[in-house]
């Protein structure tokens, strides 16, 4: 019994090694390209990858594909090619300091001590209120682009009654069968 567990573990490691070898360089390339604006959520720091392009994931691994995050494939190009590809300005790729890629949206989750602070936050930062809850003391403010959302996040910290604000993230989906 112990031998069969050992053999199965070794077989699993041998099968996983080529896949891990392919993930390493792609993640490293994304990490090195993360030179844009940084933001913090809790204790985790993220940095935007300005030359990353998001496309719908097709299920086929492309030659330029760096990662798949949820329903999106991440490809690296230049900042000019990222803009020329018509990428959605409401989404961008960011890397955590631990090397995990995420998709950053142009929406901010905002937590407030009173609902009046949320209304003031919307008015002062130029966003659109998408959701609010007086009972929960939170809301979602949407902006035209990720860059505007990150700039607004800094302004929100100066508004009385705003406890915290952070961008909404899309992380890799884990599907358990």
Give the Cα separation of 149 and 37 in Å (integer). Answer: 11
The ranges of the chain with pLDDT < 50 are: 6-8, 10-11, 13-22, 81-84, 86, 175-177
pLDDT of residue 96: 94
Considering only CA atoms, which of 36, 70, 156 is closest in space to residue 107? Answer: 156
pLDDT of residue 21: 37
Q: For residue 22, what are the CA distances in angstroms to 61, 63, 128, 165?
A: 11, 11, 41, 35
Model-level pTM?
A: 0.75
Domains and CATH numbers, the chain: 2-97 (no CATH), 105-170 (3.30.70.80)
pLDDT of residue 6: 47
pLDDT of residue 77: 79
């Amino acid at each position: 019994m112990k031998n069969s567990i050992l053999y199965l573990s070794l077989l699993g490691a041998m099968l996983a090694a080529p896949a891990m070898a392919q993930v390493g360089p792609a993640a490293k390339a994304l990490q090195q390209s993360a030179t844009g604006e940084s933001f913090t959520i809790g204790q985790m720091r993220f940095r935007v990858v300005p030359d990353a392009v998001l496309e719908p994931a097709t299920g086929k691994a492309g030659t330029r594909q760096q990662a798949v995050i949820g329903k999106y494939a991440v490809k690296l190009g230049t900042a000019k090619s990222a803009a020329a590809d018509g990428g959605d300005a409401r989404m961008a790729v960011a890397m955590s300091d631990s090397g995990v890629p995420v998709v950053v949206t142009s929406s901010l989750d905002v937590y407030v001590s009173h609902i009046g602070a949320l209304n003031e936050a919307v008015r002062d930062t130029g966003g659109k209120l998408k959701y609010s809850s007086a009972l929960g003391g939170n809301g979602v403010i949407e902006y035209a682009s990720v860059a505007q959302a990150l700039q607004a996040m800094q302004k929100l910290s100066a508004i009385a009654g705003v406890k915290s604000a952070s961008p909404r993230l899309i992380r890799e989906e884990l599907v358990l069968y």
